[in-house]
Amino acid sequence: MTTSPNSSASTYTLADEQLIDAEADSMPAPQHATAGSTAARILLGASLVLIAFNLRPVFSSASALLPEIRSELGLSAFGASLLTTLPVVCLGAFSPLAPRLAQRIGAERTLLGVLFLLALGTGLRGLSSLPLLFVGTALAGACIAVGNVLLPGLVKRDFADRAALMTGFYTMALCAGAASAAGFTLPIERALGGSMPGALAIWALPALIVGLIWLPQVLATKTQVKRSGFSVEGLWRDRLAWQVTLFMGLQSALAYCVFGWLVPILRERGLDGVTAGAIVSVSVMIQAAACLVAPQIAVRGNDQRLINSSLCGLAVIALLGLLFAPLSTVWIWAVLQGIGQGGLIAVAMTTIVLRSRDPHVAAHLSGMAQCVGYLLAAIGPLIVGLIRSWTGSFAWCAVLFVALGIGAAINGWSAGRALHVNARTTEKKG
């Protein structure tokens, strides 16, 4: 049975926080960085933002070059579906490992490994080998999964006095990474003389450079082995928790359809690759602005039912416009899609916090929503590719987009009620 937020004095009051600390259960509690000077603090903040930038190019760089990948490597239509789906599957499959790695070796060292392995995985995609393309994509997806979970908590912990500002920078960096890869990958390919492998592999450089910047900062920190000091019981049996998870998963399915397939959809409609990439790039940057505004609107109401379901409708209607509306209006639909999708991502994360009694429940609910939600989200890009293979067109994807939108809206309405999940936090002995 779920409970009302007003029924407990211990309500988790950080309703406007989108940064959930995955190490909330760790004992002893992780300590924030002790930057000795303003310059060191700026370097730390810039490093965290640059790490966030590197968590998205893997998705949109392959999408921008999907026709070239298929023709040069002989990738089948089903293989293209798997390629766009694989990193999303990894997001769900590997996210539960992140808190355990952080407890064993520290969040900072874990992120260092993430950066170098991400660079390796991204580089493997540029070796003109179909098996290595998939191996590199899986490795990169696993690294992104761990980074997705740990980075928000590190930003929140080290910049507790600048949480709103750093949340904005963090969100902008995520979207900038996706937008840059969508907009610049094809021009880079042409600048490299038509080298598709080079255009894929070049996105390893930002991760490698940021890893080298992060390295001396990590070496200067002390690592303390931690253990899980708290447990959360009842979460997986709670109906509201599953509604939050399904809302997260279904809206993510729409998001990764955009990351994985919107450029090929627009190219098939007759736009050249550079223009299609630019349109997606602008749409993703609009997402960044929506991510900042939507939570502020969401927490002002008595509940989030209306905004959750309304954003689902806007995102789907805009996708239908991108599929069928005259090409002269495509920029308008791209902006609307960015508002809807960016707002959805933000309110889904906000909903996790608002439905949680305390930071421990929020961390576990976030873990549940990311693990199950991203595995569910993987069906989106997979089915888009299969529809294109079976019908020879993207037109029937409209049915999929509407179905995902309706499912997200129904669960978003239920998850938006002003209730708490029925989960109990207990401290472990010893």
Encode pLDDT of 50-59 as tens digits. Answer: 999 999 999 9
pLDDT digits (tens, 9 = 90+) for 287-331: 989 988 888 888 888 899 999 999 999 999 999 999 999 999 999
* pLDDT interval class at 29 (50, 70, 90): low
Secondary element (H or E) of residue 60: helix 57-64
Asked if the domains at 40-229 and 231-420 fall in one CATH topology, the answer is: yes
pLDDT digits (tens, 9 = 90+) for 177-188: 999 999 999 999
pLDDT digits (tens, 9 = 90+) for 207-227: 999 999 999 989 887 766 565
Q: Check pLDDT > 50 for residue 6.
A: no
Distance CA 392, CA 58 (A): 26
Mean pLDDT score of the chain: 88
Question: Of 290, 284, 277, which is closest to residue 175 (Cα–Cα)?
Answer: 284
Q: What distances in angstroms separate CA 163 from CA 32, 108, 148, 368, one per listed residue?
A: 13, 19, 17, 24
Strands (E), 169-305: 227-228, 230-233
Quick one: what percent of the chain has pLDDT higher than 70? 89
Average pLDDT score over residue span 68-76: 93
pLDDT digits (tens, 9 = 90+) for 335-394: 999 999 999 998 998 898 889 888 888 888 988 999 999 999 999 999 999 999 999 999
Would you state the pLDDT for residue 9? 32
CB 49 within 8 A of CB 396: no
Ordered alpha helix ranges (H), 272-329: 273-298, 305-324
Question: Of 254, 221, 238, 224, which is closest to residue 403 (Cα–Cα)?
Answer: 254
CB 102 within 8 A of CB 113: no
Position with higher pLDDT, 274 vs 20: 274
Is 231-420 a CATH 3.40.630.40 domain?
Answer: no
Residue 424: φ, ψ to 5°: -120, 130
Q: What is the CATH number of domain 40-229?
A: 1.20.1250.20
Would you state the pLDDT for residue 2? 58
pLDDT digits (tens, 9 = 90+) for 141-156: 999 999 988 888 888 7
Average pLDDT score over residue span 268-278: 94
Please report, for the chain, the start and end positions of each structural domain, with discontinuous segments joined by +. 40-229, 231-420
Strands (E), 111-257: 227-228, 230-233
Q: Is 19 helix (H, G, I), strand (E, B) or coil?
A: coil
The amino acid at residue 354 is L
